[in-house]
Amino acid sequence: MTKILCIEDNLRNMRLVQKMLAGTPHTFLEASSGTTAKEMIATQEPDIILLDINLPDVDGTQIATWVKTTPELAHIPIIALTANAMHGDKERFLGGGCDAYIAKPITRRELLDTIRELLKPRDIDNPEHR
């Protein structure tokens, strides 16, 4: 079962994302702060991370950079979710270690397509992808 970790401090947004994923087989893990997120990533090793960039304790890109510079975790795809779609943001997130970027308000279609795209290599029975 695909483990999806949603890192989001706004509970309404968390529930919205969870609702959008309903009907797809997965385990939904939640973290509402950067500290909790890091703990969950290290202990749960999710298959994919949905990352709100605006968190109370850290900038989401710090989490992305930490994941991508930790060898055991670097393979985990990260989708940045953010409201502040300003010029240069996309480059900043992708440069910071995020694999994809979705601007809020996100749509179910966009979320599912992006997740599917990033998990695709694992559909193939490739030992490199566990």
Tell me which residues touch Mn ion (CB under 5 A): 9, 52, 54
Instruction: Tell me how far, at minimum, the Cβ of 82 lies from Mn ion, in Å.
Output: 8
When the beta carbons of 62 and 124 are compared against Mn ion, the nearer one is: 62
Tokens representing 90 are: 């996309």
Instruction: Tell me how far, at minimum, the Cβ of 75 lies from Mn ion, in Å.
Output: 25
When the beta carbons of 21 and 81 are compared against Mn ion, the nearer one is: 81
Angle at 119 between CA 114 and CA 124, to 5 degrees: 140
H or E element: which one contains 113? helix 108-119
When the beta carbons of 75 and 92 are compared against Mn ion, the nearer one is: 92
How many angstroms separate the CA atoms of 33 and 9, rounded?
Answer: 6
Instruction: Tell me how far, at minimum, the Cβ of 72 lies from Mn ion, in Å.
Output: 27
For residue 116, give every residue at least 6 positions away whose Cβ sits within 8 Å of its Cβ, in sequence order, or none: none
Q: Closest residue to Mn ion, Cβ-based? A: 54
